[in-house]
Structure 1
């Protein structure tokens, strides 16, 4: 057997370094770095607890602000969404500046390379940002016409829409256990809807004040936009590109500011007459903060953890919303159908994410 001599010149110095095998010290260092980069148990618990608090507080606060004032004193939901998008963009710039170790030169170079001089990537991220902006506005419509508990449970249909979009865009296939979870989820939502059948004079009065069909339609549209935007964003984060994580968020939230500004035009007459911040109270500002921080948490979960932890927080949030709604809001009807439907939804969410696929 003959071996061909290989001559490596000075110009091939970099290639030579790539061809050399890693020694044991290098392997040990890489292994230690990989282990250190894994999220700790305390971090996982922190994320679950934080997301549970944010989603519960966000749902209840919107419901309270939309049901506790007269229609003529109501704030503009489109302005709230715009403020939240601006808040997310500002926080993202700050987080990326911190990731650059507060080096202004490195920060500006990265911004110019991946953000300002990358219009194609910016256009790609406009798709999920528009979907998220539409979803945020639909949240207000749904919570204005449905009980907080009904809204929280029904929105879990986004698990179904997410699964369908993953099959369509990512080529994913699901096990029988996950399809069983999807069917269980649909039964759970059906039980929740049966709970809304008028059973008393109080329930009839509530339904006359709230347009149930409009609220349900808004929630179903929210599930579709949430599933699509989540899968699309996941595809962009995991496409193997070199764009930094926080730059991806900047691109999406920049487009979100534009789409939210366009949405404000639908309420332009009211905003121009009464003012952009008309009807804002401390609770409305809390909605802005919760919406902004909640969006960032979803991005962090997609980067560091997986959907299992997100679903755990969602399941716990469902229970808290139902319990707290009974204590906060008058005339909240919670019957056996609702309890059964909530249990089915929680079990479905956990079962769906119990499979490591």
Structure 2
């Protein structure tokens, strides 16, 4: 019964993650391309506020887990966070790496075109698999390795740039800047894989509530994010405030970002980072389809549809019988 319950939660959380990621991509794109009279909202401030919302949501969930007893919740947080500083400091590692990763992605997008960045960044799925093997002792069978290869090929085809006559634009990028962009993406893939598996290892080695762990991670992420905001956008913040350019769509983006952190935590708890990568890849396909048929700002090609078929096939192949157990069925929240 526990295994069946965990399996249902695993695929439910993956489905919610696909929905959340797809919605976030579409709303974020709309919010960043919407023409406004005033200044555009700062992405760094949105990241910080999303962490605040995530911390608040996790505190509410811990409050519920303790039968809505404020005293019991305070005792739990004091016991697990304040009185265990070594355990708490372990969460500073993934939080710091995630902050570094976000900075690297800004460097990458400053030196590479979007299509090249999207294709290269999918290497994070492979790095996650390798870190899962080395750090968690996972063993991937033939089907799993084949599914990873299919996934990489499929996502690469989905993101393959169409011939739109932008050769002159690509020539602007020098060989040096392209190398810097590629190295930034590569480092981001490695840091993403390591941080994700490190957090998964912490979650699966403890009986502590996943929400308590996310409070710890959120606090460190907030600190690092706030420092990053002041370093990169400090002048704009001092001049126009943190909430400059905010609108209803901005608030929706922040809410979806906060929800994404919680859903990913559940996915890592009940599934693993590799399946999270598959969910993210599927969301890329769904986002592109919605852009094509609803927003009508994308013209799909035969290469895209072939890549979509490969990604979907890889998703099912990874779940084929005979896959090594991930050990998640014995874990309770």
TM-score band (shorter)?
Answer: 0.7 to 0.9
| Deviation of 1:136 (Å) | 5.2
Quick check: 1:177–1:352 contact (8 Å CA) kept in 2? Answer: yes
Note the aligned Cα RMSD (angstroms). Answer: 3.7
Distance 1:242 1:335, change over 3 A: closer
Of residues 232, 235, 244, the one that matches 2:209 is: 244
Distance 1:224 1:142, change over 3 A: same
Give secondary structure in 2 for the equivalent of 1:300.
Answer: helix
Larger Rg: 1
Of residues 10, 24, 33, the one that matches 1:58 is: 24
What residue ranges of structure 1 are gaps of 5+ in the alignment? 1-33
Give secondary structure in 2 for the equivalent of 1:73.
Answer: coil
Alpha-carbon distance between aligned partners in 2 of 1:71 and 1:220, rounded to the nearest angstrom: 37
Distance 1:170 1:304, change over 3 A: closer
Q: Is residue 2:222 matched to residue 1:282?
A: no
Quick check: 2:196–2:273 contact (8 Å CA) kept in 1? Answer: no
Quick check: 1:308–1:353 contact (8 Å CA) kept in 2? Answer: no
Alpha-carbon distance between aligned partners in 2 of 1:58 and 1:142, rounded to the nearest angstrom: 21
Q: Is residue 2:227 matched to residue 1:227?
A: no
Of residues 111, 116, 121, the one that matches 2:77 is: 111
Alpha-carbon distance between aligned partners in 1 of 2:30 and 2:309, rounded to the nearest angstrom: 25
What residue ranges of structure 2 are gaps of 5+ in the alignment? 325-333
Number of the residue aligned with 1:38 = 5
Number of the residue aligned with 2:149 = 183
Distance 1:191 1:306, change over 3 A: closer
Distance 1:48 1:242, change over 3 A: closer
Alpha-carbon distance between aligned partners in 2 of 1:123 and 1:218, rounded to the nearest angstrom: 27
Alpha-carbon distance between aligned partners in 1 of 2:208 and 2:54, rounded to the nearest angstrom: 18
Aligned residue-pair number: 318
CA deviation digits over 1:5-44, x for unaligned, max 9? xxxxxxxxxxxxxxxxxxxxxxxxxxxxx64982484x56
Alpha-carbon distance between aligned partners in 2 of 1:207 and 1:74, rounded to the nearest angstrom: 27
CA deviation digits over 1:129-177, x for unaligned, max 9? 2233444566778789866x98777654322011111123223332222
Matches within 5 A, 1:1-357: 35=2, 38-39=5-6, 41=8, 46-69=12-35, 73-135=39-101, 155-192=121-158, 195-196=160-161, 199-201=163-165, 220-239=186-205, 241-265=206-230, 266-306=232-272, 310=276, 313-327=279-293, 332-354=298-320, 356-357=323-324
Alpha-carbon distance between aligned partners in 1 of 2:56 and 2:40, rounded to the nearest angstrom: 27
Quick check: 1:77–1:140 contact (8 Å CA) kept in 2? Answer: no
Quick check: 1:129–1:255 contact (8 Å CA) kept in 2? Answer: yes
| Deviation of 1:331 (Å) | 5.2
| Deviation of 1:51 (Å) | 1.9
Alpha-carbon distance between aligned partners in 2 of 1:123 and 1:301, rounded to the nearest angstrom: 23
Quick check: 1:312–1:350 contact (8 Å CA) kept in 2? Answer: no
Quick check: 2:13–2:266 contact (8 Å CA) kept in 1? Answer: no
Give secondary structure in 1 for the equivalent of 2:91.
Answer: helix
